[in-house]
Homo-oligomer: A and B are copies of this chain.
Amino acid sequence: MKKYNFSAGPAILPAPVLEKSAQAVSNWNDSGLSLLEISHRSKPFVEVLNKAESLATELLGVPEGYKVLFLTGGASSQFFMSAMNLLNPEDLAVYIDTGAWSTKAIKEAKLFGQIEVLASSKDTNYNYIPKTYDVPQNAKYLHYTSNNTIFGTQFKEEPSSNCPLISDMSSDIFSRPVDVSRHGMIYAGAQKNMGPAGTTLVIIREDLLGKVSRTIPTMLNYQTHIAKDSSFNTPPVFPIFVSMLTMEWVKENGGVEKMATINEQKAAVVYDEIDRNPLFKGTAAKEDRSLMNATFVLENESLGEKFMEDATAAGCVGLKGHRSVGGFRASIYNAMTMEGVETLRDVMKAFEQKHA
């Protein structure tokens, strides 16, 4: 049976990407060798890495003066590396707290600089995006989590700020256009819209680096990876390869502008049904609803197991909500098809017929 994978991450990848990836593991480019067993310094893999870098640059319109890196350690490592590389102990950085991932970023940054939380939606279990705050003149950067996977909220616009922005875009990178020039840094774990788990995209404005006084271990210094084009040591070959294929797929399918249009259409199918269907209700403030993760609950919670059974029977998997919100979460990243969201909508409609 055809499966529709609504998992929050690691998440659905485009079918042609999976097909090419499997082929590369067996026998890459008819070389008689697997992609897994070739040197990361061989010409064919250096070309993969260069292509991944140039695709990210092209898709997001990364301006001159920035470097695109493919690192490891997930966004969780960027929580501390960003502050470690950009803040002296006396420097101020400001953060908007929109959920679990923001909270972790704030915790780690506090080890390296003066951190002020500008605004937080913690008071209402993070069901909205705070929009009013004053950014201090001396802030080195403003950090925000562009999409909140757990709570189903998303910044519709970049925060207003005179200082450079830093954004954790792990769950909506490549899902819509972004003004990179307003950012000092963008980072994203691959395992939602970019590829499989195992690599982390970092886009960094180079002139911000080299200004802190602390000694940074070689592997934690962005300048190390910039100087060596993400190959100071062996990079995660396969995760980078699959990410390259996924970016290629985004380009072939119209780029991030087209992705944004389709993502809006797909999200409308799900949210319209949530709003129409008397059995369900959304958990996030309407104006801040995420186009990537639609969170919703049943008015009658006791029907939860029955709904999951019906969804599973229709091939819809990965719908269980995060424990801190409960209910359901439909993650509808770039690779989720309109057919998938329509199938989910039909399951919700049929469920209404049975239980209304």
Q: Which residues of A does B touch, CB under 8 Å?
A: 1-3, 5, 7-13, 18-19, 21-23, 25-26, 31-34, 36-40, 72-77, 79-80, 84, 104, 107-108, 111, 189, 191, 195-199, 215, 217-220, 232-239, 242, 315, 317-318
The residue of chain B having its C-beta at the shortest distance from the C-beta of A192 within the complex is: B234
The residue that A80 contacts in the complex, of B34, B199, B217, B315, with Cβ under 8 A, is B217
Is there contact, CB below 8 Å, between B8 and A34?
A: no
Q: What separation, in Å, do the CA atoms of A21 and B35 have in the docked complex?
A: 11
Is there contact, CB below 8 Å, between A74 and B10?
A: no
Is there contact, CB below 8 Å, between A234 and B197?
A: yes
Give 25 pairs: A residue, B residue, CB < 8 Å, sorted on A. Answer: A3-B31, A7-B37, A7-B38, A9-B39, A10-B37, A10-B237, A11-B37, A13-B36, A22-B23, A36-B197, A36-B242, A72-B73, A74-B219, A76-B218, A76-B219, A76-B232, A76-B233, A80-B217, A111-B215, A111-B217, A191-B234, A191-B237, A197-B235, A197-B237, A236-B236
User: Given known contacts A73-B219, A196-B238, what 17 new A-B pairs fall within 8 Å (CB)?
Assistant: A3-B31, A10-B37, A10-B38, A21-B36, A32-B315, A36-B195, A40-B197, A72-B236, A76-B219, A79-B218, A80-B220, A104-B218, A107-B218, A189-B233, A197-B238, A198-B237, A236-B236
Interface of A is mostly: loop
Is there contact, CB below 8 Å, between B36 and A234?
A: no
A-B complex: 3 closest residue pairs judged by Cβ atoms:
A198-B236, A80-B217, A72-B72
For residue A235, which residues in chain B have a CB less than 8 angstroms away from its CB?
197
The residue of chain B having its C-beta at the shortest distance from the C-beta of A237 within the complex is: B197
The residue that A34 contacts in the complex, of B13, B26, B239, with Cβ under 8 A, is B13
For residue A18, which residues in chain B have a CB less than 8 angstroms away from its CB?
25-26, 34, 36-37
Q: What separation, in Å, do the CA atoms of A301 and B76 have in the docked complex?
A: 49
Is there contact, CB below 8 Å, between B80 and A218?
A: yes
